[in-house]
């Protein structure tokens, strides 16, 4: 389906003032204006991303109580159980606190729930683990804000709980933990709400360091630990897709520097297994190479492998664990590919979007660890919300993904009587369901979606372009300016540029299984390589000598320590100059 191209139009005066005041080329000034920046101190702080922009952890709710209880546990040699989660955010936050406790000489152990056996957050497994380990203090990472029953059960057996979390709290009463460290609590006076789970764990570590040091200025070994620990926070911040602005931008930018120079044996082994040990890291590397490996363990098996890797001090063991994560990620991709093919085939039976405005797909033995990824692929392919359910006998678990402007959770409300349980938000949700209820849930969701649409159809999503830029202007100087905007991610998206009136310098070359293309683009004397991922089927549209217009993002491609400039294509058109919708 061809997408309309739309060129963003930031205010000319704002672009001109940003360019003048901050000494920026027009294309970079346009990018800043489009992302809501105006000339002034705020933009200076954004570009510089200095560590002094980090907020005092003491401003987080219950930080003093949390730091005091942890200091007491360290001093009294009480056993501490760090309770994480099975995604990248939970894994890195768990490792961060375990590394801190090792430095402090604390008696600490960790636990990560199993996605399929234990489910999300605190539960019966959490209480059982506290009993087994003899823990007197449990610290949650990336979960726990709504764990009323489990926190009460722990208290009943004499175990204190400190919650560190970043999810929205329930309305009204909160669990009775020793401390609830969450920037999103209604009573929070913390200036920034959007930390990831590992970011909150980092703030807890900082607060504990202040308490142990007896001052806001922490002792030197703890200061160095915090600088190094930003590597974990950077990985989690990118992979958990929290806004990469303000404090998150500072943590990620400095965290990437820490990651590039890390002495953590597990992190180094992971970077080497990703082919990133000799490159300058950018958010794309972390999001598409590092993160999927760490997540693969929790999706297919146990995230314990990922934690063990990042806690390992044995190079040989770390290399083996990193290799295992690579194998799990390869297996995840294989399963994902197979499930996508099956889901796409099943979706074709519901081709009439007016009758089936939501695609509800289900299959026996569809791996529940990847149904969310498959749902996203289905929604992207068919431009409709989807719910993909992995059935295991009589029951199943599903993940829903939506398209822009449609609340998929509201559609699920229409089928609430057919789910065992469900929840989420407008763009992504999940459920548990009896296998015999799938057809009724499909009918009910489609009926509710039709009501919500009111006869409208889903809009074809436009390809939004930030700026026109001549091919010959894409050089090292421009890339250096664009690098000042890194790390890219949520709320600070990668630049999407259009270069018009270029030509093929040589015939396009299919690569891989033929689904991708390598192009050499020329304008005047300037020639650049371009990668056209997933566009192999369009090779017949490309002809030597014909005017070509390409929408792309420029990037550095690193290979064995050397770099080359290339474009990653989002779309192309052949023929007359394009018009923008």
The Cα 224–Cα 103 span in angstroms is 11
pLDDT band of 120, cuts 50, 70, 90: low
How big is the CA angle at 354 (ends 349 and 360), to the nearest 5 degrees? 45
The Cα 369–Cα 114 span in angstroms is 11
Cis amide prior to 5 (ω within 30 degrees): no
The predicted model gives 295-313 an average pLDDT of 94
E strands, 59-116, in order: 80-83, 108-111
Query: How high does pLDDT run on average in the chain?
Result: 94
Residue 121's pLDDT is 65
Residue 157's pLDDT is 97
Backbone torsions φ then ψ of 217, nearest 5 degrees? -85, 115
Q: Which two tokens stand for residue 149?
A: 């029953």
Backbone torsions φ then ψ of 162, nearest 5 degrees? -115, 125
Q: Domain boundaries in the chain? A: 5-48+463-574, 54-243, 354-453
Q: Treating both helix axes as pointing N-terminal to C-terminal, what angle do 26-34 and 12-22 enclose, rounded to 10 degrees? A: 120
**In this predicted model, what pLDDT tens digit does every residue of 483-513 receive, in sequence order?**
999 999 999 999 999 999 999 999 999 998 8
The Cα 108–Cα 81 span in angstroms is 6
Identify whether the C-beta of residue 160 lies closer than 8 Å to the C-beta of residue 143.
Answer: no
**In this predicted model, what pLDDT tens digit does every residue of 509-537 receive, in sequence order?**
999 889 999 999 999 999 999 999 999 99
Residue 581's pLDDT is 75
Q: Which of 71-85, 108-122, 361-375, 446-460 has the lowest mean pLDDT?
A: 108-122
**In this predicted model, what pLDDT tens digit does every residue of 257-291 receive, in sequence order?**
999 999 999 999 999 999 998 888 999 999 999 99
User: Which CATH class, in words, describes the domain spanning 54-243?
Assistant: alpha beta
Identify whether the C-beta of residue 138 lies closer than 8 Å to the C-beta of residue 161.
Answer: yes
The Cα 26–Cα 253 span in angstroms is 23
CA distances from 322 to 314, 378, 412 (A): 12, 30, 39
User: Residue 1: pLDDT above 60?
Assistant: no
Residue 279's pLDDT is 82
Identify whether the C-beta of residue 303 lies closer than 8 Å to the C-beta of residue 321.
Answer: no
Cis amide prior to 489 (ω within 30 degrees): no
**In this predicted model, what pLDDT tens digit does every residue of 50-61 receive, in sequence order?**
999 999 999 999
Nearest to 479 by CA among 528, 520, 523: 528
pLDDT band of 562, cuts 50, 70, 90: confident
Backbone torsions φ then ψ of 369, nearest 5 degrees? -75, -15
User: Which CATH class, in words, describes the domain spanning 354-453?
Assistant: alpha beta
The Cα 221–Cα 205 span in angstroms is 13
Q: How are beta strands 526-532 and 562-574 bridged, if at all?
A: parallel
Identify whether the C-beta of residue 461 lies closer than 8 Å to the C-beta of residue 257.
Answer: no
Domain 5-48+463-574 in CATH 3.20.20.120 = no
Tell me what percent of the residues of the chain surpass a pLDDT of 70: 99
The Cα 323–Cα 345 span in angstroms is 33
The predicted model gives 474-488 an average pLDDT of 95
Q: Which two tokens stand for residue 186?
A: 């209604």
Q: What is 9-36 written as a DSSP string?
A: ---HHHHHHHHHHHT--HHHHHHHHHTT
The predicted model gives 414-424 an average pLDDT of 92
Residue 500's pLDDT is 97
Residue 358's pLDDT is 97
Bridge partners (DSSP) of residue 469 are none
Look up the pTM and report it. 0.91
Residue 3's pLDDT is 84
User: Is there a common fold for 5-48+463-574 and 54-243?
Assistant: no
């Amino acid at each position: 389906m061809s997408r309309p191209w739309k060129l963003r139009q930031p205010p000319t005066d704002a672009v001109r003032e940003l360019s003048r005041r901050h000494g920026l080329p027009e294309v970079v000034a346009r990018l800043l204006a489009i992302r809501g920046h105006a000339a002034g101190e705020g933009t200076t702080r954004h570009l510089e991303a200095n560590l002094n922009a980090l907020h005092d952890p003491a401003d987080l709710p219950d930080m003093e109580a949390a730091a005091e209880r942890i200091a007491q546990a360290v001093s009294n040699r009480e056993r501490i159980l760090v309770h994480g989660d099975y995604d990248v955010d939970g894994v890195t936050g768990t490792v961060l606190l375990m590394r801190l406790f090792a430095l402090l000489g604390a008696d600490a152990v960790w636990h990560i729930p199993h996605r399929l056996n234990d489910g999300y957050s605190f539960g019966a497994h959490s209480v059982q683990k506290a009993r087994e380990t003899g823990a007197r203090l449990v610290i949650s990472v990336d979960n726990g804000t709504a764990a009323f029953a489990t926190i009460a059960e722990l208290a009943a057996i004499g175990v204190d709980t400190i919650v560190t979390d970043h999810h929205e709290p329930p309305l009204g009463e909160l669990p009775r933990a020793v401390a609830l460290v969450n920037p999103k609590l209604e009573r929070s006076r913390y200036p920034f709400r959007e930390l990831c789970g590992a970011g909150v764990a980092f703030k807890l570590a900082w607060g504990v360091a202040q308490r142990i040091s007896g001052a806001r200025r922490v002792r030197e070994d703890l200061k160095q630990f915090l600088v190094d620990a930003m590597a974990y926070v950077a990985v989690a911040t990118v992979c958990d897709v929290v806004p990469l602005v303000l404090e998150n931008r500072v943590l990620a930018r400095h965290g990437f520097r820490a990651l590039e120079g890390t002495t953590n044996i597990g992190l180094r082994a992971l970077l080497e297994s990703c082919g990133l040990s000799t490159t300058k890291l950018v958010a794309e590397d972390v999001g598409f190479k590092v993160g999927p490996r760490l997540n693969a363990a929790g999706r297919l098996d146990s995230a314990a492998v990922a934690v063990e890797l990042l806690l390992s001090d044995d190079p040989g063991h770390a290399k083996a664990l990193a290799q295992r994560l690579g194998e799990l990620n390869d297996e995840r991709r294989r399963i994902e590919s197979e499930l996508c093919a099956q889901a796409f085939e099943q979706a074709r039976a519901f081709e009439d979007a007016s009758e089936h405005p939501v695609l509800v797909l289900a299959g026996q033995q569809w791996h529940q660890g990847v149904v969310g990824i498959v749902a996203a692929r289905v929604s992207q392919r068919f431009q409709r919300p989807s719910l993909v359910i992995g059935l295991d006998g009589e029951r199943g678990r599903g993940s829903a993904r939506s398209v822009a402007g449609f609340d998929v959770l509201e559609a699920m409300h229409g089928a609430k009587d057919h789910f065992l349980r469900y929840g989420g938000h407008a763009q992504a949700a999940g459920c548990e369901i009896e296998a015999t209820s799938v057809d009724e849930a499909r009918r009910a969701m489609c009926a509710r979606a039709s009501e919500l649409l009111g006869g409208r159809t889903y809009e074809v999503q436009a390809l939004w372009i930030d700026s026109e830029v001549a091919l010959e202007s894409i050089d090292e100087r421009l890339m250096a300016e664009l690098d000042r905007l890194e790390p890219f991610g949520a709320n600070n998206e990668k630049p999407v540029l259009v270069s018009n009136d270029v030509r093929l310098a040589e015939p396009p070359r299919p690569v891989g299984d033929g689904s991708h293309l390598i192009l050499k683009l020329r304008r005047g004397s300037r020639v650049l390589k371009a990668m056209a991922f997933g566009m192999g089927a369009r090779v017949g549209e490309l002809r030597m000598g014909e005017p070509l217009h390409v929408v792309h993002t420029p990037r550095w491609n690193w290979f064995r320590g050397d770099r080359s400039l290339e474009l990653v294509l989002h779309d192309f058109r052949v023929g007359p100059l394009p018009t923008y919708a």
